[in-house]
C-alpha cells in the first residue's frame, strides 16, 4: 500500500465534465444475469487461449490493456466468479494486480488472496491513469473485456463483481448505475460520482467505505453514492452510525428493509482518503486493513452453486511467537467436499454467546495482531468453501499474551518543535528526540485550528523526529504540538506549541489556491488547484501561472491546457471549466511533478488572470 503510486493516486479530482453515456453490451449479455441462475459462458469446456498477465483489446477505436489473473488450478468446466479491480487516479493496473508494497496480501484490494483460486481477476488500465469515461468509452471497455473473457474462459454470469478506490470507486459506481443487470455487486472505496451515472435506477448489491476525515473526496460524496442504492434497493432510509473522530475505529452498518438479494452496507471509519485503514492507527496498510475481509464476505454471500457440503474440520491449532499484541497459529489443512473449492479459514475467539472473528487466512496459518497484553485467549478455526459453507470448529487452543513488562514511565516531552517550508497546503515539522527508560516507539502529531482556541487532535504519527502535514487550507492558521509514546503505550507531555499560517495568492479577477494532495521523496501531486472568480462579473476563461523549483519536472496534468517554459508553467482553462459566476470556483484542475529525491520544495508564485 505505502508506495509512490498510491500516494500519487489519492487525487481523485471531481471531473465534472465527463459524459455518462456508453455503448451497451449486446442483448445476449445485458439480459438480467445478476438475478438469474448461473449460465455457462461460451468459454466453458474450451481449452483457453488467454493466459494470466497483460492483455490487449480493441475498443472504441483504441488499443486498451488489462491484466488478467486466472486461477492456478483453473478447471474449464467450473464457472468462476469474475472480479474487476479499478485503480485510482494516477495509479495503474499493475498497482492493483501486484498489491504494491503490501504484495499479494493486497492484490486486488486483498480479494485475490481471500478468493484462494476461486475467482478470475481483472485489473483494467484507465486512459491517462484515470476513469473519465468520456462518451461512455470506459463502460464500453468493460463490456468488451467481459465479452472477450467469457468467450474464452468459464465464467459464472451471476457472479460478476467490481470494486475500486477513489477514481476507481467512481468507475465502480458508474458500473452500478449503468450495468446493474451485469454486475452482482460493487464495492466503492472512498469514491464519488466521477465517471458519470448513466441510468442509476436499477437495484444492485452495494457496499461503500469512506473516511470521516477524507480531505480529497468528502464523506458526504460517499454517502450520496450510497443513498442512490438505498433508494433503488428499497432499503429503509436511516442515518447509519459512524465512529467518533479521534477514535481510529470503524463502524459497518447493513441497511434493513432492502429487497431480497440487494443489500446495502455502509462502512465509515475515522481516517482519511484510503482503501486500507487500520483500526487504532493512522496507517494505510493493505496487509493489516479490515476492509478486505468485509468486502470478501459481502461478495461471498452471493452464491449460485448447489454446493451445501461443508469442508472438513481443520486440525488443532498450534501457537507460536506469542507477544504482548500478536500470536501465530498453524493447523492441519481442511479439504473441500462439495466441489466449490476451499476458500480459506476464519479464526474466532471463544467468548460466550457471540464469538468474535479475530482474522481470516487463505492458508493454514495466520498471525493475529492487535491483541491485548497479558490476556488469555481461547481460539478455534473454521474452514470455508467457495459456496460459503463453514466447517465444524477445530479443537480449541489457549494462550496468554505477554505483559508489557510493567513499564509505567512515560517518555520525556519532545523539544524544540519547529515548522518550515510552509506552503498553501502543507508544512514540515521537526523536533528534538524524547528519551525513555525502555525506548521511544514513535510520536503523535497534534493539530488545532486557529491562533487561539480549538481542540488539539491527532492528525498523524511519525517514527522519526519529523513530519510533513499536507492537505491544509490556504491562508489559514494552525497550531501544532507533538508527544512521544513508548512500547507500553505511555504518553509523554506535549512539546512546545508552534503556529503556522499557510499561504494563498490572488491576482486580477480570479484566485489560484493550491492544495498539496500527496507527496513522496521524488514527487508530489497538487490537487485541487482551486480557481475562484473573485470579481463581480462572470468570467469565461482563466489562466494560471506558477514556478516549479529547480530540478522539478511536470509529469502530468488534467482539466487544463498546460505549457512550460523553463520552470514557468502556464495552465489555461478548457471548455468545461472556464466559465465561472462571481464567487464560483472549480476544483477540477491539478497536476503531478517529479523532483530530486529528498528535495522537499514545492511550486510557488501562483497567479491567476481572467477574461
Q: Does residue 64 lie in a domain region?
A: yes
Under the banding of pLDDT at 50, 70 and 90, the label for residue 406 is: low
Average pLDDT over residues 238-243: 92
Q: Does residue 3 lie in a domain region?
A: no
Confidence (pLDDT) at 5: 35
Tell me the residue range of the domain where 190 lies: 53-301
Confidence (pLDDT) at 506: 37
Confidence (pLDDT) at 605: 86
**Domain of 357: which CATH number?**
2.60.40.10
Which domain-ending residue is among 401, 430, 460? 401
Average pLDDT over residues 273-298: 92
Q: Does residue 26 lie in a domain region?
A: no
**Domain of 90: which CATH number?**
3.40.50.1820
**Do residue 167 and residue 226 come from a single domain?**
yes
**Do residue 451 and residue 585 come from a single domain?**
no
**Do residue 440 and residue 379 come from a single domain?**
no
Q: What is the CA radius of gyration of the chain?
A: 25
Written as nine digits, the cell of 567 is 520552470
**Do residue 428 and residue 282 come from a single domain?**
no
Confidence (pLDDT) at 25: 37
User: Which residue has better confidence, 196 or 342?
Assistant: 196
Per the listing, cell 473454521 goes with 382
**Domain of 514: which CATH number?**
2.60.40.290
Residues 301-331: tens digit of each pLDDT: 887 655 678 889 999 999 988 878 788 899 9
**Do residue 326 and residue 281 come from a single domain?**
no
Q: Does residue 39 lie in a domain region?
A: no
Own/partner contacts of 506-509, CB < 8 Å, gap of 24 or more, are: 506/534, 506/608, 507/607, 507/608, 507/609, 508/607, 508/608, 508/609, 508/610, 509/533, 509/534, 509/535, 509/537, 509/539, 509/609, 509/610
CB 349 within 8 Å of CB 378: yes
Which domain-ending residue is among 502, 527, 550? 502
Confidence (pLDDT) at 354: 75
User: Which residue has better confidence, 353 or 243?
Assistant: 243
Average pLDDT over residues 394-399: 94
**Do residue 242 and residue 389 come from a single domain?**
no
Q: Does residue 5 lie in a domain region?
A: no
Confidence (pLDDT) at 4: 31
**Do residue 394 and residue 472 come from a single domain?**
no
Confidence (pLDDT) at 502: 80
Which domain-ending residue is among 456, 477, 502? 502
Taking the whole predicted model, whether its pTM rises above 0.75 is answered as: no
Indicate if the pLDDT at residue 423 is higher than 80. Answer: no
β-pairing, 505-507 vs 80-86, is unpaired
Indicate if the pLDDT at residue 240 is higher than 80. Answer: yes
Lowest mean pLDDT among 101-115, 338-352, 539-553: 338-352
**Do residue 110 and residue 150 come from a single domain?**
yes
Indicate if the pLDDT at residue 432 is higher than 90. Answer: yes
Own/partner contacts of 238-244, CB < 8 Å, gap of 24 or more, are: 240/266, 240/268, 242/212, 242/268, 243/212, 243/268, 243/269, 243/270, 244/270
Average pLDDT over residues 467-471: 80
**Do residue 358 and residue 435 come from a single domain?**
no
Written as nine digits, the cell of 147 is 465479452
Q: Does residue 540 lie in a domain region?
A: yes
Q: Does residue 483 lie in a domain region?
A: yes
Indicate if the pLDDT at residue 102 is higher than 80. Answer: yes
Q: Does residue 406 lie in a domain region?
A: no
**Do residue 397 and residue 444 come from a single domain?**
no
**Do residue 170 and residue 80 come from a single domain?**
yes
Cβ contacts of residue 490 below 8 Å, gap of 6+?
Answer: 407, 408, 409, 410, 411, 436
Domain total of the chain = 4
Quick check: helix, strand or coil at residue 77? Answer: coil
Distance CA 305, CA 158 (A): 10
Average pLDDT over residues 282-295: 91
Confidence (pLDDT) at 341: 65
Indicate if the pLDDT at residue 504 is higher than 60. Answer: no
Residues 542-598: tens digit of each pLDDT: 889 999 988 898 877 777 888 888 888 999 888 778 888 888 888 778 888 888 877
Q: What is the three-state SS of 329-366? A: EECCCCCCCCCCCEEEEEEEECCCCCCCEEEEECCCEE
Confidence (pLDDT) at 173: 97
User: Which residue has better confidence, 331 or 441?
Assistant: 331
**Do residue 156 and residue 58 come from a single domain?**
yes
Cβ contacts of residue 515 below 8 Å, gap of 6+?
Answer: 424, 425, 471, 472, 473, 474, 526, 527, 528, 529, 530
Amino acid at each position: 500500500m505505502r508506495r509512490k503510486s498510491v500516494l500519487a493516486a489519492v487525487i481523485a479530482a471531481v471531473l465534472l465534465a465527463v459524459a455518462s453515456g456508453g455503448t451497451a453490451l449486446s442483448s445476449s449479455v445485458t439480459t438480467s444475469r445478476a438475478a438469474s441462475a448461473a449460465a455457462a459462458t461460451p468459454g466453458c469446456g474450451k481449452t483457453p487461449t488467454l493466459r494470466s498477465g497483460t492483455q490487449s483489446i480493441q475498443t472504441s477505436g483504441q488499443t486498451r490493456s488489462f491484466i488478467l489473473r486466472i486461477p492456478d488450478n483453473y478447471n474449464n468446466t467450473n464457472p468462476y466468479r469474475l472480479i474487476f479491480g479499478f485503480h485510482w487516479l494516477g495509479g495503474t493496473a499493475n498497482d492493483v494486480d501486484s498489491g504494491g508494497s503490501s504484495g499479494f496480501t493486497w492484490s486486488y484490494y486483498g480479494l485475490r488472496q481471500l478468493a484462494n483460486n476461486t475467482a478470475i481477476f481483472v485489473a483494467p488500465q484507465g486512459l491517462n491513469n484515470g476513469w473519465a469515461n468520456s462518451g461512455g468509452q470506459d463502460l464500453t471497455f468493460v463490456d468488451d473485456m467481459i465479452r472477450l473473457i467469457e468467450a474464452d474462459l468459464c465464467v459464472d454470469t451471476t457472479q460478476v463483481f467490481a470494486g475500486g478506490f477513489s477514481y476507481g470507486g467512481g468507475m465502480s459506481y458508474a458500473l452500478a448505475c449503468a450495468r446493474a443487470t451485469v454486475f452482482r455487486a460493487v464495492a466503492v472505496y472512498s469514491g464519488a460520482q466521477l465517471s458519470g451515472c448513466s441510468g442509476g435506477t436499477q437495484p444492485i448489491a452495494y457496499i461503500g467505505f469512506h473516511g470521516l476525515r477524507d480531505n480529497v473526496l468528502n464523506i458526504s460524496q460517499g454517502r450520496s453514492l450510497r443513498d442512490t442504492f438505498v433508494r433503488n434497493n428499497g432499503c429503509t432510509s436511516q442515518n447509519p452510525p459512524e465512529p467518533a473522530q479521534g477514535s481510529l475505529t470503524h463502524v459497518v452498518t447493513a441497511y434493513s428493509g432492502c429487497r431480497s438479494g440487494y443489500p446495502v452496507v455502509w462502512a465509515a471509519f475515522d481516517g482519511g482518503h484510503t482503501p486500507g485503514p487500520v483500526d487504532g492507527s493512522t496507517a494505510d496498510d493493505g496487509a493489516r486493513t479490515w476492509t478486505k475481509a468485509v468486502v470478501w464476505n459481502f461478495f461471498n454471500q452471493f452464491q449460485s452453486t448447489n454446493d451445501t457440503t461443508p469442508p472438513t474440520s481443520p486440525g488443532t491449532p498450534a501457537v507460536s511467537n506469542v507477544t504482548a499484541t500478536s500470536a501465530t497459529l498453524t493447523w492441519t489443512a481442511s479439504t473441500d467436499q462439495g466441489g466449490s473449492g476451499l476458500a480459506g479459514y476464519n479464526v474466532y475467539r471463544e467468548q460466550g454467546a457471540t464469538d468474535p472473528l479475530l482474522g481470516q487466512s487463505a492458508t493454514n496459518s495466520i498471525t493475529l495482531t492487535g491483541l491485548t497484553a497479558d490476556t488469555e485467549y481461547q481460539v478455534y478455526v473454521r474452514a470455508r468453501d467457495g459456496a460459503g459453507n463453514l466447517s465444524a470448529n477445530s479443537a480449541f487452543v489457549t494462550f496468554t499474551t505477554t505483559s508489557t513488562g510493567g513499564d509505567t514511565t512515560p517518555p520525556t516531552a519532545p523539544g524544540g518543535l519547529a515548522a518550515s517550508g510552509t506552503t498553501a497546503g502543507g508544512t514540515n515539522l521537526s523536533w528534538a528526540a524524547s528519551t525513555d527508560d525502555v525506548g521511544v516507539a514513535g510520536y503523535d502529531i497534534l493539530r488545532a485550528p486557529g491562533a487561539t482556541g480549538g481542540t488539539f487532535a491527532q492528525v498523524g504519527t511519525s517514527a522519526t523526529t519529523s513530519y510533513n502535514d499536507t492537505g491544509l487550507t490556504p491562508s489559514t492558521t494552525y497550531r501544532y504540538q507533538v508527544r512521544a509514546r513508548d512500547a507500553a503505550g505511555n504518553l509523554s507531555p506535549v512539546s512546545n506549541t508552534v503556529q503556522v499560517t499557510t499561504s494563498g495568492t490572488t491576482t486580477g479577477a480570479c484566485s489560484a489556491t493550491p492544495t498539496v494532495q500527496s507527496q513522496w521523496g521524488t514527487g508530489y501531486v497538487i490537487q485541487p488547484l482551486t480557481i475562484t472568480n473573485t470579481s463581480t462579473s462572470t468570467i469565461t476563461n482563466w489562466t494560471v501561472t506558477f514556478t516549479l523549483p529547480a530540478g522539478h519536472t511536470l509529469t502530468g496534468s488534467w482539466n487544463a491546457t498546460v505549457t512550460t517554459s523553463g520552470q514557468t508553467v502556464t495552465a489555461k482553462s478548457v471548455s468545461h471549466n472556464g466559465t465561472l459566476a462571481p464567487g464560483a470556483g472549480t476544483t477540477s484542475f491539478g497536476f503531478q511533478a517529479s523532483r530530486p529525491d529528498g528535495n522537499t520544495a514545492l511550486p510557488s508564485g501562483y497567479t491567476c488572470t481572467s477574461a
